[in-house]
A and B are shown apart, each in its own frame.
Chain A
Amino acid sequence: MARSFVIAAAIAAFGLAAVADTSLAQGTVKIGFIIPMTGPQQSTGKQEVAAVKLYMAQHGDTVAGKKIELIIKDDGAVPDKTKRIAQELIVNDKVTFLAGFGITPTALAVAPLATQAKVPEIVTAAGTSFITERSPYIVRTSFAVPQSCVPMADWAVKNGIKRVVTMISDYAPGIDAEKSFTAEFVKNGGKVVDAIRFPLANPDFAPFLQRAADRKPDAVFIFVPSGQGSIFVRQFVQKGLDKAGIKIIGPGDVVDDDLLNGMGDQVIGTVTAHFYSADHDSAVNKAFVAAFEKANHGMRPNFMAVGGYDGMHLMYAALKKTGGNTDGTALVNAMKGMSWESPRGPISIDPQTRDIIHNVYIRRVEKKNGQLYNVEFATFPAVKDPGKAAEKKK
């Protein structure tokens, strides 16, 4: 028995020594960045982390006399893990900001913590409309899905697309996309001839594409999460839907910049609505794309990267505005109504909803200098999240 106690004491002492020194250096502001770097959503994490690091490389790590320390954590897009990591970042690392959140459930899991600990939660990726309503400390720099879907519906009706089959991944953002598109499309006189939902985790689209083809629509409206677009397009062509004269329309996730070049010439002509294209014609964007590609072995930034980049800008700017005050409430108040020029164009934070307001562009896939790009040709300026606007009216 005595020996057991000695062993026990020794191990316990070792454990105590191993506990990290959590003394808080004065003048350090920590940003806890939680994003999926493994699992099916890892492309989001890869893009965002690259963008966040680029922002820090370009703008230095000192703001308003405070040193910025970035802590990157992988949650594999598993919400209970996200919540535990966020909690540890709050109580052990004493972070000033929580940022990232690759999918809607992870952003929602952290919402009560943000409220309880009064820590701003900057959502830089997840896109379901209602996320920002779940905590007064949530501010979003990515996008709300309906922002792209409603302009898409407007454009489609005006351009001779009358019969549409909607095809979406069966989860919150997909359902957001389906609802907002359908409402606007039907209101303007279009007809949705079939609404198909397929499981999120199982991207075999062939049987669903067959069903869509049988309805003989003018176009299919497609929403899949970032990363599944190339499989969809390949199967779309294999099934011969393109030859039957059926067009692909939808928010830009399906022709994600990150994967676009690998999709081949078959996607040329696809028209989508989205808030960011690597081809966006502005000096800010050209500089951003060039720096991003240089720092990441030629990887092209996509809309997730821009969400992360703007998230960093928002946190930097808020700290500057509060003069280095790290109080969560003061920071969120500083963020409200803030506006700046992002690589995606002019953007601002809606002071009422803390959600992003940005331009939505209608783009067509074209070949430029041997590479495929989403080339913007029409603009819907300063689009607020129509999902929340619609709820307010009710």
Chain B
Amino acid sequence: MTQLEEEVAGFFVRRGRWSPLEIAFWILALASIWLLPSEHLILTETAILALFALSLDLILGFAGIISLGHAAFFGFGAYFTGLVAKYGIVNEPVLALLLAGLAAAALGFATSFLVLRGSDLTRIMVTLGIALVLYELANRYDNITGGANGLQGVDIHPILGRFSFDLYGHTAYAYCLVVLFLLFLLARRIVRSPFGLSLVALKDNPLRAEAVGIPVNARMVAIYTIAAGYAGVAGALLTQTTAFCSLDVLSFERSADLLLVLIIGGTGYLYGGLIGAVIFKFMQDWLANLTPQYWQFWIGLVLVLIVLVGRERVTGWTRSLHHMIFPRLLAMPESRKKRREIAARRGIGRVGGAASDGH
């Protein structure tokens, strides 16, 4: 191994290391199974929302693809699971989950080529459009989907034939948490790989990324497909835990709420969606209990305050969290020094690394 190869390898090992905060986060999540048994129903919803937000973070936070129609994949996975269970094709949840993920990923792959075109504004319109089309299709073909009444008669068998879903939501929560954790591990592996680094590069500057030899379009298609699969799994979890599926899994509100969740939690460090989902769900539930009629006013106010007053603090703490969990991209003091020397010799200022300087 050359010195450079060693350095690069060392860098990826450091990048992949688990920080204490991360471990604490997952211990807490695990502990909630025993410590908060009466909150399992809302925690189940939170875990599903967290997985869904994680999916959006993969494309928004890492590849810079903004989407206002991510519910398309969520809803597709939800209806897929509901239909295969209703017609007795696949009733076992784990297998259905895998299939739903694959089906949603296939849809993501097919539609990713539309998303490649154009800038942010075009992407917002395209993703929104795809979700609206699916919504109307589900509404129109009510003989298959149940239309506005929702899909009835979804029969979900026990997980792996052993653990059946109970009224208290205990099984459902443990199940969702396990799925969330496994998919999180996979996502973590993906974004910390060279592939993940190339995504960050193309997010910052696609032209430059193309110039250094990153196949921009192929990478975008890949991550969009993966994210669609994640969203499909989240949708499938919702159908399985509620044994029900209705049109609003495809609604615009679901996509918009998702963006809010990610804004609250912060993008680009994977935990944003998870933390955002917890804050969003519990704040919503708390406010709605205080004032069932006007809670939306308060949640709106809180969001405005977060963005206006606490903006520095919020982005500040998410950034410091980000760095605690996710070592800086160019945290290679040795090579940086070397590059500076080279640069100084050539008489140019700094090369690259602008983002990391100043920290």
A112 to B296 CA separation, bound complex (whole angstroms): 29
Interface residues of B in 148-167 (CB under 8 A from A): 148-150, 152, 167
Count, A-B residue pairs, CB within 8 A: 112
Q: Is the CB of B288 within 8 A of A108?
A: no
Give every chain A residue within 8 A of B238 (Cβ-Cβ). 80
Q: Is the CB of B246 within 8 A of A105?
A: yes
Q: Is the CB of B31 within 8 A of A8?
A: yes
Q: Is the CB of A19 within 8 A of B41?
A: no
Give every chain B residue within 8 A of A117 (Cβ-Cβ). 167
Shortest Cβ gap from A118 to chain B (Å):
11
Give every chain B residue within 8 A of A37 (Cβ-Cβ). 292-293
Interface assignment of B244: CB less than 8 Å from any CB of chain A: yes
Chain B binder among A81-89, A268-276, A352-360: A81-89
A84 to B284 CA separation, bound complex (whole angstroms): 14
Label chain A's interface by main secondary structure: helix
Give every chain A residue within 8 A of B139 (Cβ-Cβ). 170, 199
Shortest Cβ gap from A34 to chain B (Å):
10
CB contact between B148 and one of A84, A90, A172 (< 8 Å): that residue: A172
Interface assignment of B168: CB less than 8 Å from any CB of chain A: yes
Known: A3-B20, A84-B242. A90 touches B167 (CB 8 A): yes
Q: Is the CB of B41 within 8 A of A87?
A: yes
Q: Is the CB of B167 within 8 A of A38?
A: no
Known: A4-B20, A4-B24, A88-B41. A38 touches B150 (CB 8 A): no
Interface assignment of A183: CB less than 8 Å from any CB of chain B: no
Interface assignment of A231: CB less than 8 Å from any CB of chain B: no
A220 to B250 CA separation, bound complex (whole angstroms): 33
Q: Is the CB of B149 within 8 A of A20?
A: no
Extra contacts, 4 of them, besides A12-B31, A80-B248, A84-B42 (Cβ < 8 A), are A11-B28, A46-B293, A87-B41, A109-B242
Residues of B whose CB lies within 8 Å of any CB of A are: 20-21, 23-24, 27-28, 31-32, 35-36, 38-39, 41-42, 44-45, 139, 147-150, 152, 167-169, 238, 242-244, 246-249, 288-289, 292-293, 295-296
What are 23 A-B contacts with C-beta separation under 8 Å? A4-B27, A5-B27, A22-B38, A38-B296, A45-B293, A46-B293, A74-B292, A74-B293, A74-B295, A84-B44, A87-B41, A87-B169, A91-B41, A91-B168, A92-B38, A104-B148, A108-B149, A112-B243, A117-B167, A134-B152, A170-B139, A172-B147, A199-B139
